[in-house]
Chains A and B, each alone.
Chain A
Amino acid sequence: MDTLRYTLRKLLYSVPLILGVTLLSFTLMVYFGPDMAYEKLGKNATEEDIEREREKLGYNKPFVVRYGNFLTSVLTFDFGESFSTNQRVMDMFAETIPVSIMVALPGFILGNLISIIFGLWAAYHRGQRLDKTIMAGAVVGMSISFLIVVIVFQLLLCSDYGLNMFPTTGWEVGMNLEEFNILDYFEYVTVPAICTIFVSVGYNTRFYRAVFVEELTRDHVRTAKAFGCGPVRLLFKHVLKNSLIPILTRIILSLPFVIIGGSIIIESYFGIPGVGSVVYDAIVNGDQPITKAAVVCTAILYVFFLTLTDILYQVVDPRISLK
């Protein structure tokens, strides 16, 4: 009951936050943004044509009215149609977001799991050779450019120079229940996932190791050892649960990016029709309905996940009570 009340209040408080985000993004992107009338009509338009088009787009209405219209679109989740494809924005998102999530999630989850295990392992052997080896590996992994990682794995796994086991690019996976085939999915997701893992493990391992090293110096860890606790139980029970707060924060707050941002590099290099490439194209082309929708959706997801982390904190640490 307390949790429910807390959640509702938290969501209520987030209304001003979302309003602020919309105001900022509206002012910067829409009000001072590119004039679409020129883009739409091309080079040979007359003054009158442009004036008419601007009228149609609502450019000469006052700021407040235009912002009001923008807010209406936020509230109704109807951001209109894309300037370049004339598809409804929400339809485009509905089509591409699942693809992005499906591409990003396996790498995201596995990357974090592997990093947590490496982090625990390194922290337990702090200062010893194993720790130094893992940390050196992390720095090497961090230092190699994403682009090179992608190309190397494509060469190794998708080409005649290597194993040639997976398609280099594309996404021929059925996106509804009848057409979905797990084997197709594995075929297309494996290489992008490996690349994501390779790139993220270095950063994450360093972060997690620091968290675990700190936790390992605590008195309760010494107590557990003094009562005969072995290393596996020590790490996975006593250390991991106590360190979950920074871990959860890091993982959950990067989820909005996984959902809306996707990985532009992964999606463009592997020719995957995800939301990342849609948003990227929209930014490049000044396709305002899409950029508006992306900004607003990210803000809303952020608020949602922030509230979720607060609730999870309480689950993880009994000393925290939601007030």
Chain B
Amino acid sequence: MTTPLLSVKDLVIEFNTEHGLIRAVDRISFDIFEGETVGLVGESGCGKSITSLSILGLIPSPPGRIGAESSIKYQGKELVGLPEEQLRLMRGHDISMIFQEPMTALNPVFTVGNQMMEVIMRHKKVNKKEALKMAVKMLEDVGIPAPEKRVHNYPHQLSGGMRQRVMIAMALSCNPHLLLADEPTTALDVTIQAQVMDLMGDMQKKQNMAVILVTHDLGVVAEFCQRVIVMYCGHIAEVGTVDQIFNRPQHPYTKGLLASVPRVLEEKVEFLPTISGTVPDLGNLPKGCRFADRCERATEECNAKPPQLTIDEKTQAGVACYHPYK
């Protein structure tokens, strides 16, 4: 096995809140390899977004902080505890990020060209004219018509899909090796969603970068990812290839999650299955498995001690469950 592009080990993210210290992400580990697309899925609040933010060192601190034993290695280089100045050089250059809300994620008072050129000029030693040329080229690559005109537009003059394209163009302008896409299509129309995802796929092939797709949309994951990391309540429940996760889910949570997705082509169902119960409060976590309360296979053992995730070195798959489905 080659060395991973990004290796996250024992990542702990805690927040100081009014209700005391809350551990939003609890000792999770995963690897991302060059050129692959990995889906990071889970319901709202499971810690998937802040996991991606922590890779770039963007956890607001205070109140947040990354645990002392956590390790995030990018190409073998430890990112946790790296001085801010060095992290800054990597942001947008080695690792880029796309955000959910294209409406607000771009600065409303500067033209898209201005914002793109700022990023390009920061990371590549080019002058203004060259940066503008590169920005226009990037906009053209992401399929924006009349890019030499659009580059002088303000974000509010563009549609939502266009803005997300601009965001992608900005993120890819410095040829990053890793792209963190935090719900990149959630705020968009379904038709635009597909276009944007296709665009990301194309750009990924062109630039041979790895993508971490943070989403709760399993359809998008099935279509675009090679591997999936399923998160539940700050833990990783299951890791596997798309085929494994979708066709042979082992963790009861993964199974429940998949069952609750409506399908068009299969036989009609009276009710859409749901997972009964609610996610435990992060300030008041159970001692054992965090899913035990909602799990039909839970036993004494599950309530006593949390199951550990063991990832098979060869298949890069694993499940954190005492009673996985076979």
Contact = CB atoms under 8 A, between A and B. Distances in A.
A225 B107 contact: no
Interface stretch (A33-41, A64-72, A216-224): A216-224
B106 A223 contact: yes
Contacts of B93: 228
A229 interface: yes
B104 interface: yes
B277 interface: no
Given A228-B93, A228-B122, A319-B156, A222 B58 contact: yes
A12 interface: no
A225 B105 contact: no
B101 A317 contact: no
B252 interface: no
B58 A228 contact: no
A240 B308 CA distance: 48
Contact of B108 (A224, A233, A319): A319
B92 A226 contact: yes
Interface residues of B, number: 30
Contact of B62 (A127, A226, A318, A319): A127
Given A225-B58, A227-B96, A229-B118, A241 B110 contact: yes
Nearest to A126: B62
Contacts of B90: 228
Given A127-B62, A225-B91, A318 B109 contact: yes
A220 B91 contact: no
B229 interface: no
A133 interface: no
A226 B97 contact: yes
Contacts of A316: 109
Contacts of B171: 227
Given A224-B107, A227-B92, A241-B109, A318 B58 contact: no
A228 B119 contact: yes
Contacts of A42: none
Nearest to B85: A230
Interface string B57-83: 010001000000000000000000000
B30 to A, nearest CB: 20
A242 B109 contact: yes
Interface string B36-58: 00000000000000000000101
Nearest to A219: B104
A238 B107 contact: yes
B107 A242 contact: yes
B15 interface: no
A76 interface: no
B120 to A, nearest CB: 10
B119 A220 contact: no
A223 B107 contact: yes
Given A222-B58, A316-B109, A230 B104 contact: no
Contacts of A218: 104
A128 interface: yes
Contact of B156 (A223, A228, A241, A318): A318
A218 to B, nearest CB: 7
B123 interface: yes
Nearest to A245: B109
B99 interface: yes
Contacts of B62: 127-128
Contacts of B88: 228-230
A227 B108 contact: no
Nearest to A220: B107
Contacts of A318: 108-109, 154, 156
A138 B56 CA distance: 35
B91 A228 contact: yes
A228 B122 CA distance: 8
B213 interface: no
B131 interface: no
A220 B89 CA distance: 19
A137 B9 CA distance: 44
A226 B91 contact: yes
Contact of A227 (B85, B109, B119, B154): B119
B170 interface: yes
The 5 A-B pairs of least Cβ separation, nearest first, read: A227-B92, A228-B91, A219-B104, A220-B107, A226-B97
Interface of B: 56, 58, 62, 85, 88-93, 96-97, 99, 101, 104-110, 118-119, 122-123, 154, 156, 167, 170-171
Given A225-B58, A318-B108, A318-B156, 11 more contacts: A219-B101, A223-B167, A225-B91, A226-B92, A226-B99, A228-B90, A228-B93, A228-B122, A229-B118, A233-B118, A242-B108
Interface of A: 127-128, 218-220, 222-230, 233, 237-238, 241-242, 316-319
